[in-house]
């Protein structure tokens, strides 16, 4: 159902690189049946495109506020996004 589909771009700041944040994000996203990608940014943040049902995307955003063990999330900025090329499954792209 297209009306149940949601696409967001999330930028996570804090201590989120060097703590397996991307691998954790992929694992959490796959468990929720989401597609999209996650990557490190040069400014030390992590950015993720998250595509799925409204409920699953909402759960993923909640999880991003906590992150994996070793992470220290300061902020999660979320905005609606155009899916563009959303891959099947969830990928680590950089």
**Residue 11 above 90 pLDDT?**
yes
Q: Which of these ranges, 1-5, 7-11, 37-41, has the smallest mean pLDDT?
A: 1-5
Q: Which of 40, 63, 88, 91 is catalytic?
A: 40
**Residue 1 above 60 pLDDT?**
no
What kind of fold does domain 2-85 have according to CATH? Alpha-Beta Plaits (3.30.70)
Q: What is the mean pLDDT of residues 7-26?
A: 97
Q: Which of 22, 26, 63, 88 is catalytic?
A: 22
Q: At what angle do helices 21-31 and 54-64 cross, to 10 degrees?
A: 150
Q: What is the mean pLDDT of residues 1-9?
A: 80
- For this structure, is 40 an active site residue? yes
- Dump pLDDT digits (tens) for 32-80: 999 999 999 999 999 999 999 999 999 999 999 999 999 999 999 999 9
Q: Using CA atoms, how far apart are residues 40 and 47, in angstroms rounded to an integer?
A: 6
| pTM score above 0.85 | yes
Q: Is 89 left (phi over 0), alpha (psi -120 to 50) or beta?
A: left
């Amino acid at each position: 159902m297209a009306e149940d589909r949601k696409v967001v771009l999330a930028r996570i700041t804090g201590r989120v690189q060097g703590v397996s944040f991307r691998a954790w994000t992929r694992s959490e996203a796959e468990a929720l049946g989401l597609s999209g990608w996650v990557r490190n940014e040069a400014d030390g943040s992590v950015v993720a495109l998250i595509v799925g049902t409204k409920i699953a995307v909402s759960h993923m955003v909640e999880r991003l506020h906590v992150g994996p063990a070793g992470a220290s999330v300061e902020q999660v900025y979320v905005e609606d996004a155009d899916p563009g090329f959303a891959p099947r499954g969830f990928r680590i792209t950089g």
